[in-house]
């Protein structure tokens, strides 16, 4: 930590910037593991059905665990087999890797539970499992942010999220630039924004926050920043004991298109930020818009559910 902290000021005047020209992560094709080697395994996630298990990622029909970059993910002591969703065929006019979303109308976003954060209050990179209704893995999402930025800026931190498929290939990248909220909240320069790229380096749209006195309001935009859909959050996102529903609506506000729901998972929802989101959208919705709703889920998570409730209330109220 001493080598990474460059200034005693936890909020330096010049935060790191992420722009649309960042270098995507390595594609990481799957490599058969050596005989007897367990493979690199991501850390465990919290799930209401399996609260103490850790996944061992297995591709459907394969004989080897999916390999990740050596040393990037710590190996747990226990593992439970997790099956990946069968790889779909290539579809015309569909960005590579989004063929999975084209076949789904419902996905689950399961954030990994990090004991280190609860014990030390040291913020680590977020990781997520993306699953379908059958419990099959669809994607794996990892945050790519340095230790200093995460712990200095917390929920306001700029970040890059990398979405990988069953072969370890980066098929989607999301980035959030730094936006200071210490001045007037209605100022456009303070509004949060997320850029979604698929494949990495090719922008397909943006998720933009709109200032509202009572509730969370976002617009889902195309690559030209033209509004395509809206997202309306509840009046209170910190309620204890109930789900928080963010409704995806048409531009005229009349039709409901889908929803992003943060599920209430009991005591762990109150004690940690290992969230469970459920996303609904029409099966025949344009696949790039599905990807944009998927991206909106992560901006919502970082803005409203990344800290424990006591810390959030002191930060946002």
Confidence (pLDDT) at 9: 46
Tell me which DSSP letter residue 224 carries.
T
What are the pLDDT digits (tens) for 4-27? 444 444 444 555 555 544 555 555
Least reliable range by pLDDT among 75-79, 220-224, 256-260: 75-79
Number of CB atoms found within 10 A of residue 274's CB: 23
Average pLDDT value over all residues in the chain:
74
Asked whether 120 and 147 are in contact (CB, 8 A), the reply is no
Q: Is 94 exposed, middle or buried (0-12, 13-18, 19+ CB in 10 A)?
A: middle
DSSP bridge partners of 65: 58
- Cβ atoms of 97 and 165 closer than 8 Å: yes
Per-residue pLDDT tens over the stretch 135-172: 999 999 999 988 888 788 877 788 899 999 999 999 99
* CB distance 208 to 228 below 8 Å: no
DSSP 8-state code for residue 96: T
Cβ neighbors of 157 (< 8 A, separation 6 or more) are 145, 149, 150, 178, 302
C-beta of residue 178 within 8 angstroms of C-beta of residue 16: yes
Does this model's pTM top 0.75?
no
Alpha carbon 182 to chain centroid, angstroms = 25
E strand or H helix at 295, and its extent?
helix 287-300
Token digits of residue 93: 């006019």
Give the containing element (helix H, strand E) for 312. helix 309-316
Q: Which residue has the higher pLDDT, 76 or 272?
A: 272
Better-predicted residue by pLDDT, 217 or 74: 217
Strands 106-111 and 244-249: unpaired
Structure tokens at 128: 């997520």
């Amino acid at each position: 930590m001493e080598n990474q902290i460059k200034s005693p000021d936890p909020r330096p005047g010049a935060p790191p910037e992420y722009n649309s020209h960042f270098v995507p992560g390595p594609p990481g094709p799957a490599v058969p593991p050596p005989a007897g080697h367990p493979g690199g395994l991501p850390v465990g996630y919290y799930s209401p059905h399996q609260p103490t298990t850790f996944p061992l990622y297995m591709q459907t029909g394969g004989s080897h665990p999916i390999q990740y970059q050596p040393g990037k993910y710590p190996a747990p002591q226990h593992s439970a087999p997790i099956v990946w969703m069968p790889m779909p065929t290539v579809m015309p006019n569909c960005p590579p890797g989004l063929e999975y979303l084209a076949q789904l109308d419902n996905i689950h976003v399961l954030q990994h539970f990090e004991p280190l954060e609860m014990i030390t209050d040291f913020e680590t990179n977020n990781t997520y499992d993306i699953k379908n209704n059958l419990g099959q893995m669809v994607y794996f999402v990892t945050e790519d942010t340095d230790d200093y930025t995460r712990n200095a800026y917390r929920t306001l931190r700029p970040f890059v999220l990398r979405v990988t498929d069953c072969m370890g290939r980066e098929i989607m990248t999301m980035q959030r630039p730094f936006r200071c909220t210490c001045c007037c909240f209605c100022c456009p320069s303070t509004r949060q924004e997320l850029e979604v790229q698929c494949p990495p380096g090719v922008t397909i749209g943006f998720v933009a926050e709109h200032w509202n006195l009572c509730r969370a309001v976002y617009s889902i935009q195309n690559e030209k920043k033209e509004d395509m859909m809206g997202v309306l959050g509840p009046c209170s996102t910190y309620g204890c004991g109930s789900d928080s529903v963010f409704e995806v609506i048409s531009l005229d506000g009349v039709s409901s298109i889908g929803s992003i729901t943060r599920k209430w998972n009991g005591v762990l929802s109150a004690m940690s930020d290992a969230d469970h989101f459920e996303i609904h959208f029409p099966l025949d919705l344009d696949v790039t818009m599905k990807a944009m709703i998927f991206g909106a889920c992560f901006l919502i998570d970082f803005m409203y559910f990344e800290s424990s409730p006591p810390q959030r209330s002191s930060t946002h109220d």
